[in-house]
A and B are shown apart, each in its own frame.
Chain A
Amino acid sequence: MRLLYIITKLIVFPGAYLRGFWEQLTCRLLKLMVEPGGYIRLDEACGHVEHSLAEKQFAAYLMATGPGFMNFNMGMAFFLFGYINIFTLGVTRFDSIPLYICSLVALYIGVSLLCCLFPLTEDILRFWDIAYGGYAKKKRVAGRALDGVGKVLGFPFAAITRLGAFLEKNCVIFILWAAFLVWRFLSL
């Protein structure tokens, strides 16, 4: 699984690289320690940076969702541009080679960004632990603890991120995207 994970991250290297960048930027903003070592590496942290875990509630939330949020926004823009041109407006290589190539590249970059949305399981588990576990009390974490309403409102996002992190770690998201694109190209 580790090898498959690394291979998938190498295939979607633009998304992995930018994901790593956003993580490092978030760490910098939150003053978390980051081990230098690049964003594309041949281990489980491929597409991420090695960093210390956040202590505060908001910091943990931002580490879990911030980089993914950036990748999602940019990924959707690239993906929609490529998808609409190729699959909806039906641009082919016989219409305009530059536009077709641009659309293919945008589609690839978009999907690569969308394949790298979720944090490492450590990051989301840390947030989960602070928000829903006993970590906040034990460590007297700074910031107001989530009250009942906050816990309920935040639960879907936390749960989706936790599930997404698990799926991404096991390459399921990459496989789903690959299958979707193969199906769309075959149905052209």
Chain B
Amino acid sequence: MIKETFDPHASDDDNESITLEKGEETESAAAVGEEPAEEALEEGLCPRCKKRKVAKKHDYCYRCEDELRRTKIPLTGIICAVLAIAVSIICVVIVALDLAPAISVVKGDMYAIQNNWFAAHSAYAEVQTSATEVQNALATNKVGLFLGSLTNPGYGVKSKIYNTVMHIYDPLRAYQNSAYAFGESPDERYLKTDKNYQLCEKYYNRFQDTYLAVQEPVDLMQGMEKPDKSEGEKLFKLLEESRGAEKVDDVFLDYFIYTAATYFDLGEEKIFECFDQMKKDAEASEDDYTWLYYKDYADELLRYGHGEEAATYYQKLADRDISAYDPVRGLMNAKLLAGDVDGADKLVDAFCRENLINGENSDSNYSLLINMARVKGDFEEALDLIEEAQSKYASVPEYYRQKCLIYLAQENYDQAFEAAALCEQNAYYIASYYGDATYYTSDILMSTVYIATSLCDKYGKKDTENAQYISEILEDYKTLNIRQEFRDIVSGKTKVTDYLREGVCDFI
């Protein structure tokens, strides 16, 4: 730091003086730079030029001070500063263009932290939309096109979308639908660096290897027109023989065995035996397989009346994805099973409050609200909600199923059949066009359609068109594995209204 001050009001006499004041400096004025040469100081000469005398109360002579006040600014400094300003202005423009997509990403990240994967997915999906809007707005000239190209989201966002798909569904489906997140021809080098993709690929390969190893018994099962218990023993033997074979994953093998057990409807003991084995093998594995069997396990527990234990598994699933519909539906049914209608109502209310989309109910919210209204016996409100929901989400099959249940409860079999048929059509549409056959192949859909169709066939008026359709559906359902308790409804041993009374969950 150059020593002390220059007094612009000093007189010429003062300027000639060589007095140096000491001790005037504050702590802040402590010198950092070079001290004036001692020799020059002693002689009272300017330490810089060593020719002229130091001005009074100054460190240098006036000429040196004047020169120091006009120290040349280097040209490189000016060029660098001008360049930096220009480039930073360009950066500001690009940042402004990136802002909308970036905010969507941040929103998605916030939802992902809360395990709200559906909302996170929606936010991430908006990123490309925002970027495209910006690009379209700029696409009037070459500069705009160039600037627009800088707003494109990269593989980082695609990877986040993939991660949400992995959480909303499961690693196998995420892997099978990789093109949705990464595009049709993603860069293989990137995929090798993506941890989530690698994880899904690992699970998928294990699944495929296991499937190839057990293809013979699985094909045998799929080829059966009806579950044949005598063939079942052979099939289980073949499946068990695959255990320990090369590339066979024990947990996936357990899952195949469980699927066979449900196909042959081997009862509670066998099914939970399968799950015990699956849990044991999953715990022995270094990887997390809970995504594979938790939901099925909870569903089976609920089906066999272990509502409390089922609720703990549903809760684990709900904690993992707070936007997931199935765990909340399971928890609701567990509460209904325990006779806690108020608890179920509060649970649904809480879920719906947390899962609003732009302040409005999501399709899942409507499904749960309709279900609760029906369970509480408020059919009018349930039908109003169905109408409102269908005006926003036209093709959700669950709305038709709920409508069908309401008509069944009212013993209006013709309308129940029509609702069931629409439910099946919409589920088929979703399976065909979106590749999501979860609902189409679900027990709740099959049992509802089977019961509604059979009861309509038995007690309904049936116009000509419906009669043909009913016989086609019933023909199809002959080969399907419908649980005995639902066959009992059709045969008249039990009443459908027993399942649709107030406070009772339906065909779980």
Contacts and interface: CB of A to CB of B under 8 A. Distances in A.
Contacts of B68: 33-35, 52
Interface string B1-44: 11111100000000000000000001111101110000000000
B89 A77 contact: yes
Contacts, number: 161
B91 interface: yes
Contact of A33 (B69, B81, B84, B159): B69
Contacts of A181: none
B190 A106 contact: no
Contact of B105 (A27, A89, A135): A89
Interface in B130-180: 150-160
Contacts of A32: 69
A80 B103 CA distance: 13
Interface in A127-180: 128-129, 133, 135
A53 B6 CA distance: 10
Would you call the interface of chain A mostly helix, strand, loop, or mixed?
helix
Interface residues of B, number: 56
A89 B382 CA distance: 43
A10 interface: no
A52 to B, nearest CB: 4
Contact of B77 (A21, A35, A120): A21
A33 to B, nearest CB: 4
B158 A22 contact: no
A18 interface: yes
Nearest to B4: A52
B101 interface: yes
B480 interface: no
A81 B94 contact: yes
Of the listed residues A34, A52, A91, A135, the one surrounded by the most CB atoms of chain B closer than 10 A to its CB is: A52
Contacts of A85: 98, 150, 154
Contact of B155 (A52, A84, A90): A90
B493 interface: no
A188 B163 CA distance: 13
Nearest to A39: B77
B4 A53 contact: yes
Contacts of B26: 125-126, 129, 133, 135
Contacts of B65: 33
Interface in A1-57: 17-18, 20-22, 24-25, 27-28, 31-36, 38-39, 44-45, 50-53, 55
Given A89-B127, A95-B155, A122 B98 contact: no
Nearest to A80: B95
Of the listed residues A17, A44, A84, A188, the one surrounded by the most CB atoms of chain B closer than 10 A to its CB is: A84
Interface string B265-303: 000000000000000000000000000000000000000
Contacts of A104: none
Contact of A74 (B27, B88, B160): B88
Contacts of A80: 91, 95
B95 A122 contact: no
B6 A90 contact: no
A92 B30 contact: no
A134 to B, nearest CB: 9
Given A21-B77, A77-B91, A50 B2 contact: yes
A118 interface: no
B58 to A, nearest CB: 10
A24 B85 contact: no
A18 B80 contact: yes
Contact of A94 (B32, B153, B190): B190
Interface string A100-117: 000000100100000000
A89 B71 CA distance: 45
Nearest to A91: B154
Nearest to B105: A88
Contacts of A21: 73, 77-78, 80-81
B463 interface: no
A133 to B, nearest CB: 7
Contacts of A129: 26-28
Give the top 4 A-B pairs by smallest Cβ distance, nearest first: A90-B156, A125-B28, A91-B154, A33-B68
Interface of B: 1-6, 26-30, 32-34, 60, 65, 68-74, 77-78, 80-81, 84-85, 87-89, 91-92, 94-95, 98, 101-102, 105-106, 127, 150-160, 187, 189-190
Given A51-B2, A80-B95, A87-B156, 11 more contacts: A33-B60, A34-B2, A39-B77, A80-B91, A90-B105, A92-B156, A96-B154, A122-B29, A125-B26, A125-B28, A135-B28
14 contacts: A28-B73, A35-B33, A36-B71, A52-B4, A74-B88, A77-B91, A78-B91, A84-B102, A89-B156, A90-B158, A90-B159, A122-B1, A125-B28, A135-B26
